[in-house]
Amino acid sequence: MNAPVGPTGLPETCRGGTDESPAARFRLGVSAGVSATDLTFGTGPGAAIHEKSLGASLAWRASRRWTLSASAGALTGGFLWPAGQPGLTLLPGPFGAVAGTFRILEGGKGLPFLTATASASLLATQTQDAAGATTPLLATDVKAAAIVGITLWDRLSPYVGAAAFGGPVLWGPSDHRNTGTDNYHYQVLIGLSAALPAGLDAFLEGSPVGERALTGGLGYAF
- Taking 90 as the threshold, does the pLDDT of residue 46 lie above it? no
Give mean pLDDT, residues 143-167.
94
Q: Please, which pLDDT band fits residue 39 given cuts at 50, 70 and 90?
A: very high
In a domain, 7, yes or no: no
For residue 70, pLDDT over 90 is answered with yes
pLDDT confidence tier of residue 20, bands split at 50, 70 and 90: very low
If one counts the domains in the chain, the total is 1
Which whole number is the average pLDDT over 101-128?
93
What mean pLDDT comes out for the span 86-95?
Answer: 95
Instruction: Identify the CA nearest to 97 among candidates 68, 123, 71.
Output: 71
Nearest to 13 by CA among 148, 117, 155, 150: 155
The answer to pTM > 0.85 is yes
Average pLDDT, the chain: 88
Give domain status of residue 87, yes or no.
yes
> Cβ distance 75 to 93 under 8 Å?
yes
CA end-to-end distance (rounded Å), the chain: 31
CB-based contact 170:137 (threshold 8 Å): yes
The arithmetic mean of pLDDT across residues 95-109, rounded, is 91
Answer yes or no: is 1 within a domain: no
Is residue 155 in some structural domain? yes
pLDDT bracket for residue 62 (50, 70, 90): very high
Indicate which CATH number applies to the domain containing 117: 2.40.128.100
Tell me whether residue 222 is in a domain: no
The pLDDT of residue 165 is above 70: yes
pLDDT for 24: 82
Q: Which residues constitute the domain of residue 90?
A: 12-217
Helix (H, G, I), strand (E, B) or coil at 58: strand
Select from 32, 34, 142, 53 the least CA-distant residue to 95.
53
Decide if 21 is inside a domain.
yes
